[in-house]
């Protein structure tokens, strides 16, 4: 009787998809994608794996739901600024989101047509229209911007993952810059010149500079 009562209590617990996604995000942030299993998730939620499967079909669906939840939060902030400023704000929110949750970039790349990707594309596309970009080039323009945003954000997150915990970023960049200065000047003249900039650049500022270059090109082509 006691065992049956306990099972009944577990089944009547308020287990929702939102709660499952919340705990999944916590696991992903703390331990990485490899640590997210339905067994681990069930243990954290004090339930059975079957109860989780009722809400989420598999790990891919769970990653999609978790990614969508975070993207929704980032895009929900909105921006009433003019199109150029709105694009910059949206791009920076996505960049910061992937910087904080590095696994998001990887999942977006693996599942390019998931709802989160469509929402990013829609958000960028609306601002492209508002900029007055000709309809014939809007698709290419929005695609270029979205690919730049996600590509840079994903690369930035990947670089951070390669650094051991507690690594001083500035010191690591300075070490890389020092190595660049030792390169053969005949083979790598440009890289050697850029060594000083590598050591003291700001990732977010550099990212936004790229967004501005794309926007300037779109505005010039109107």
Within-domain flag for 106: yes
Do both 43 and 85 map to the same domain? no
CATH number for position 43: 1.10.10.60
pLDDT in tens, 54-92: 999 999 999 999 999 999 999 987 667 899 999 999 999
CA distance to 38, 58, 124, per residue, from 140 (Å): 40, 34, 12
Give the pLDDT score at 215. 95
Top-confidence residue, 96 or 112: 96
| 182 within domain boundaries | yes
Sign of CA dihedral 10, 13, 17, 18: negative
| CA pseudo-torsion sign 87, 158, 37, 166 | negative
87 shares its domain with 47:
no
pTM attached to this predicted model: 0.85
Taken in order 115, 120, 122, 123, is the CA torsion positive or negative?
positive
Is 168 a domain residue?
yes
Sign of CA dihedral 164, 166, 169, 172: negative
Inside any domain, residue 198: yes
Residues 21 and 99 both lie in one domain: no
- Region 133-143: mean pLDDT is 95
Q: Which domain holds residue 165?
A: 79-220
pLDDT at 36 over 60: yes
CA separation for the pair 114, 123 (Å, rounded): 15
In terms of domains, do 109 and 35 share one?
no
214: nearest Cα among 156, 155, 127: 127
Kindly state the helix (H) or strand (E) to which residue 131 belongs, with its residue range: none
Judgement on whether residues 96 and 32 belong to the same structural domain of the protein:
no
Q: Give yes or no: residues 83 and 167 share one domain.
A: yes
- For the chain, what is the domain count? 2
Query: With bands split at pLDDT 50, 70 and 90, how would you rate the model's confidence at 200?
Result: confident
pLDDT attached to residue 40: 95
Helix 83-100 vs helix 102-110: crossing angle, to nearest 10? 110
Asked if the structure places residue 67 within a domain, the reply is no
Give the Cα separation of 161 and 212 in Å (integer): 27
pLDDT tens for 202-212 read 889 999 999 99
Q: Is the pLDDT of residue 17 over 80?
A: yes
pLDDT for 157 equals 85
Q: Is the pLDDT reported for residue 12 higher than 60?
A: no
C-alpha span between 101 and 70 (Å, rounded): 9
Do 108 and 173 lie in one domain? The reply is yes
Q: Are residues 39 and 91 in the same domain?
A: no
């Amino acid at each position: 009787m006691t065992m049956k009562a306990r099972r009944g209590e577990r089944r009547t617990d308020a287990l929702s998809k939102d709660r499952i996604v919340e705990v999944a995000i916590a696991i992903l942030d703390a331990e990485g994608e490899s640590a997210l299993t339905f067994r681990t998730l069930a243990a954290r939620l004090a339930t059975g794996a079957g109860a989780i499967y009722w809400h989420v079909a598999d790990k891919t669906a769970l990653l999609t739901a978790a990614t969508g939840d975070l993207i929704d939060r980032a895009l929900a902030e909105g921006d009433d600024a003019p199109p150029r400023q709105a694009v910059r704000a949206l791009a920076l929110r996505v960049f910061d989101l992937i910087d904080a949750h590095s696994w998001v970039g990887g999942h977006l790349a693996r599942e390019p047509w998931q709802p989160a990707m469509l929402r990013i594309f829609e958000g960028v596309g609306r601002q492209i229209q508002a900029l007055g970009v000709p309809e014939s080039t809007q698709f290419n323009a929005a695609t270029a911007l979205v690919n730049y945003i996600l590509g840079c954000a994903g690369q930035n997150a990947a670089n951070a993952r390669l650094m051991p915990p507690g690594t001083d970023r500035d010191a690591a960049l300075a070490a890389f810059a020092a190595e660049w200065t030792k390169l053969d000047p005949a083979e790598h003249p440009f890289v050697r010149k850029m060594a000083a900039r590598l050591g003291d650049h700001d990732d977010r500022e550099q990212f936004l500079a790229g967004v501005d270059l794309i926007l300037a090109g779109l505005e010039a082509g109107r």
